[in-house]
Structure 1
């Protein structure tokens, strides 16, 4: 059975922390691939409208391009509306019955897993993979495989603030993503 990791998120913008999480899960669990899955509308986040859906998709494409074991998963963008992981994974499992999906989440999502839509049903169809994040407890009563990984206190919010204020992004964003953001004038980039 093929083993596929799914890393969902707004990716607004995608940063080095996302790549590290995906790669650590890929390596630790010997996955066949990891798919980056941008959501249409996140149920738990207020969307920053500086970057369109197309911008976010392009930034993820640029970020993952050098890595053959990273792929794009656009199902939530195709479905549109609020992206509930349960509905998405039911559909992915229906489309790909010969795949075991591993849903990769960080400490903040681990802590709030009990609030997820249809979580009791969701844990029956996917395996959760967790990576600790600074400032979180990274604990849950749900069955989750924890992966040891470097803890990086990096967020898309910090990246957007740095862009707006002209701060350095060196080593925080893939260079191609930085170039794209500046070319498109996203997030108030100067």
Structure 2
């Protein structure tokens, strides 16, 4: 699997240099409603490719019952190298402000912001895009049916292509179909316990 720096016009090799005394942490932002097997595969492959210490799932929104965080906790239970970061949860801050706070609070850490190709294109339009890439290393993963180009420095990581989305799973469940083998068993059990998404 190659690690590349892509822009719409050029493609160059990127040599990663890490110091022994700095932590390397991935931040995987998303809705995770629900978290599914493609999310886990992406986190695992990126962690291995970049030799990250941990990948933290960073949900954006949750309800008063903490449904999303509970699903994440069940999905990640017993999985070493994965965790949950709630800094962005229901926050009025912009993505830039959240990452700025995390970087200031963890001066010994290099953060890698992980996003799918459906999200990467929108990052270029952010008001603080130029400052954002100074805070964190952007890591992109291709998603089926979503191709994008950007002038921002992105590490593109090859991951298994799974045409799977949380929205498709919600639609499936609302039709009365269980997403067996598409979400972790513990998450599916929780969804049925709570009667989420029509199950």
Say yes or no: TM over 0.5: yes
Q: Which runs of 5+ in 1 are unaligned?
A: 42-50
- Contact kept, 8 Å, 1:103 with 1:129, in 2: the verdict is yes
Q: Deviations over 1:10-32 (max 9, x none)?
A: 11111111111111110000000
Alignment correspondent of 1:66: 78
Give me the whole-angstrom Cα distance separating, in 1, the residues matched to 2:37 and 2:93.
Answer: 23
User: Quick one: which of 5, 10, 14 aligns to 2:35?
Assistant: 14
Choose between structure 1 and 2: higher helix proportion: 1
Tell me if 1:157 matches 2:167: yes
Q: Does structure 2 retain, via aligned residues, the 8 Å contact 1:4–1:31?
A: yes
TM-score by length of 2: 0.85
Aligned to 2:87: 75
Q: TM-score, normalised by structure 1?
A: 0.88
In our comparison, the structure showing a higher alpha carbon Rg is 2
Residue of structure 2 equivalent to 1:45: none
User: Counterpart in 2 of 1:55?
Assistant: 67
What stretches of structure 2 of length at least 5 have no aligned partner? 1-21
Q: d(CA) in 1 for partners of 2:151 and 2:26?
A: 21
Runs of 4 or more above 6 Å deviation:
none
Q: CA deviation at 1:107?
A: 1.0
Per the alignment, residue 51 of structure 2 pairs with: 30
Equivalent-residue separation in structure 2 for 1:135 and 1:172 (angstroms)? 19
8 Å Cα contact 1:40/1:53 also seen in 2: no
- 2:7 is aligned to none
Alpha-carbon shift at residue 167 of structure 1 (Å): 1.7
Aligned residue-pair number: 178
